[in-house]
Structure 1
């Protein structure tokens, strides 16, 4: 019996375990994607609230040689149909607020970001450190605040940034979604800023003899020779605007085309507001700026002062209906003066002002503004607003893979001040871009999208059973996924141990056979 105990126990273990091995492995169910190449949908209860809003504000954006670099794309031949990009771009004090109920990841449903700096070279934009970011869900009762330290970049020679402060606040309700106030809020402020301390697109040599190779119909041979001689006598090369960007030690100015002696602040927010005559909400995205004054060529004899009389504000309000949705823009009012003399006022009726730059024999610095008999070589073009609005009727998912929604989306962009340095025909240098440099102060962008009838603020309502009915069937319970062999090793071990002990007990319970009793008596021949 002892020799049969171990094989019997092993057989019982195999019989007990065979049903588990015979069944297919049950895994956690994964929702199937709508498209084979699309990642699976994120888990969690489906929200009845649908809302998308974006608001972004940049204190300053510098563009070198705008519209000069082809746009790269992975699609063959498609880059030729896209607008060209700048050779280099750098942004200062970026405040971004985003709300997206259709976000694939839960923590991307509300994002607030205050960034000290962002830059791109030929369309390639690496991520810069030192950014304040807050995301939701989960909800954040308090905002994230702190100082922003701009990291070193290859474009540091173009601008100098003072103390930057920022705050970011992102909120999200677990059941009501974006029905909190605010959904996303971001602020940035800078104490001082100087932009374009050099013009890299202009030559750094003062002697342009033989460099004016292009045909300039406005200049004959004698005028061209006079222009070269006048440029030689300037205090600095054209890359320093003839010395205007070299700095003036007596006044303490470090030399820059544009500077902000006072604080400039940006504010971006996305929120839900009451919809008149309805219990639902509307999506509101707002971008605002606060500025006092701006200086051009500060500390030089030709300094220009720009006072901000009226602050700009850009708002997009989507109710889900094109008739009641709107974009509201309060255009800024800027007063431009030089030496106590007003040169012009920039407002909605007069959004552009050109200030010429010229050279005059016997002067070591270029003239700006009133040129008199000077030869103009460039233009400072001041422009406000550049308001642009777009709208779209929604009839489908707000985001790829999301539920189908009917509604309305609209957005707009604007600028506080756009400063362009343009060359004239007299500056006939080869391969010169149409715009030498561009500085945009207070870039604003807003977008809002809502379903028809407005945003529903409420938790999902459970289905009520019909009278006399059994109600909706409960979903079947799903087993968790088997991730390794440990799920079967443990029960097999204990089952085998129990059967082995049972075999030992059975062997021990059987009566022992004596050796003498087991042998039968032998018969003799006489029997």
Structure 2
């Protein structure tokens, strides 16, 4: 079944980076090789139309976000698109998808759990080690197991503990997608440490000659003082002056963000009852469960983030804009340091900045209360970043499919977005606006249904047969795809005519000719 998996590496990255209403990542309908060749047949026409997607990533790391131009095949078009990160890596990806319009029957319901997905400058290779289950045919039981993260060039950025996954995809031969669960994917990780180093910062403690002349905040004397202060730190800036170097006494290995408790994600697509109708509505749900998060764990600057209320994101489509909607339970996070509360993150207060500074004579930077320190960076924490998009349907849900009228909506959200930002005092050349970004709990949902709701039924309309049974669907004639279809009948027709001619010649009596020619009597 792993050979049937969609590329796990590109899946979540594509979901979170593209609009929520992008086309589902299923196999497209192949076009004809020659202009005169008829299109490929997708089989009998479906009577049920529904699309749903739910994707959840436990963690997504972005290096230098918004620094790389998007690559396209159209000259100059990449400059008009939003810029991508230099590198992205996702951990614990759970994706559930239902698509009645899929060209391949086993892509009508897909559930997959992937240990990793990564992209470098917008290019996402396929990652192995994915659990996947597809339907049809139906699957009575889910597939569960451990997920082993493959080795990647970005291993120095994070350490992943034991990952577990569970996937379940179903499809009923008579009711189609009207079965529970339709697509369900789960992932969980026991431990996780992210950003053990900051590759966008220099790995040397001596910044002599590296600070630019365009630093407006510092004069020449202040720049030299900053250079001397950074030399006294316990590590280079790429290790945040020693904060990411680890503390052997406490057992901490050094990371900007870590999870001491289990983090789990659940993505689910299902059809639910539509009030006052025998039809169904499409519901896509992304849910997260996490208790606590640590920043700079094991150091004097450790910050504790307690998740008071975990987030849940749901998209429900009934086919009508008036009764469809997105429901989001925004997370509530309490941020504290050394027993002192720094603030609460929720929908009303979505952002909190924690400064990072250096003081002469100290071997570690200060985080939080800087006093007389010179701030060189900022830890920005954000939550409740909900983006929603709606669309009225009046066309095919999939390329080459039938026209469907209805309603589609989608949304994206994040549990916690942690950014490391430089200040004006850190005047290094070619420094991106954001040094690194960690997103915990990336959520994407989408749901589409025709007007009046989803009709439950067999993949093809059936007619009563003799004895009250169901007759088999009528066979469709094959299309002519080349001249061989006409050559074979012509060959056999010519062969038959030749045999008939031989028989006629052999069966007719022989004619008697006179002995002489020209009618002259013989001598």
- Normalising by structure 1, report the TM-score: 0.82
C-alpha deviation, 1:42, in angstroms: 3.9
Q: List alignment gaps of at least 5 residues for structure 2.
A: 1-29, 466-472, 504-523
Aligned to 2:200: 201
Per-residue Cα deviation, 1:292-330 (whole angstroms, up to 9, x for no partner): 100000000110000000010000000000000000000
**1:408 to 1:478, Cα distance in 2 relative to 1, 3 A:** closer
* Cα pair distance change 1:475/1:289, threshold 3 Å: closer
Residue of structure 2 in register with 1:95 after alignment: 94
Number of positions where the alignment pairs a residue of Structure 1 with one of Structure 2: 462
What's the offset of the Cα at 1:210?
1.1
Structure 1 unaligned runs (5+)? 1-30, 466-472, 503-527
Q: Is the alpha carbon distance of 1:170 and 1:88 closer, same or farther for their aligned partners in structure 2, counting shifts above 3 Å?
A: same
1:476 to partner: Cα distance: 7.9
Report the equivalent of 2:138. 139
- Consecutive aligned runs of 4 or more in structure 1 exceeding 6 Å deviation: 31-35, 473-484
1:124-523 aligned at under 5 Å gives the runs 124-459=123-458, 460-462=460-462
Secondary structure of 2:224 counterpart: helix
Is this contact kept in 2: 1:214–1:430, CA < 8 A? no
Contact 2:47 2:461 in 1 (8 A): no
Distance across 2 between alignment mates of 1:51 and 1:199: 44
Q: What CA distance in whole angstroms lies between the structure 1 residues aligned with 2:106 and 2:480?
A: 25
Instruction: Give the Cα–Cα distance (whole angstroms) in 2 for the partners of residues 254 and 81 of structure 1.
Output: 42
Compared with structure 1, are the counterparts of its residues 394 and 33 closer, same or farther at alpha carbon in structure 2 (3 Å cutoff)?
farther
Q: CA RMSD in A?
A: 3.0
Instruction: Report how far residue 233 of structure 1 moved.
Output: 0.2
Q: Distance in 2 between matches of 1:174 and 1:351?
A: 46
The answer to whether the Cα contact below 8 Å between 1:42 and 1:104 also exists between their aligned partners in 2 is no
Pairwise CA distance, 1:176: 2.2
For residues 397-456 of structure 1, give each alpha carbon's deviation from its aligned partner in whole angstroms, at most 9, with x where no partner exists: 111100001000000000000000000000000000000000000000000000001001
Deviations 1:174-206 (A, max 9, x none): 232211112111000000000000000000000
Task: Give the whole-Å Cα distance in 2 for the aligned partners of 1:196 and 1:208.
Answer: 22
| Per-residue deviation, 1:361 | 1.1
Q: Aligned equivalents of 1:404 and 1:218: distance in 2?
A: 60
What whole-Å deviation, never above 9, does each CA across 1:61-104 have from its counterpart, x for those lacking one? Answer: 00000000000001122111100000000000000001111111
Q: Distance in 2 between matches of 1:297 and 1:37?
A: 64
* 1:117-169 deviation per Cα after TM superposition (whole angstroms, max 9, x unaligned): 01000000000000001111111111111000000000000000000000111
- Report if the CA contact (8 A) 1:34-1:401 is conserved: no
Task: Judge which range, 251-260 or 456-465, deviates more.
Answer: 456-465
**Quick check: which has more Rg, 1 or 2?**
1
2:317 and 2:34 map into 1 onto residues whose CA distance is 30
Partner of 1:251: helix, strand, or coil? coil
Task: Work out the CA distance in 1 between the residues paired with 2:312 and 2:147.
Answer: 24
Contact 1:166 1:189 in 2 (8 A): yes
Do the aligned partners of residues 292 and 476 (structure 1) sit closer, same or farther apart at CA in structure 2, a change above 3 Å counting? closer
Q: 1:128 to 1:302 in 2, by over 3 A?
A: same
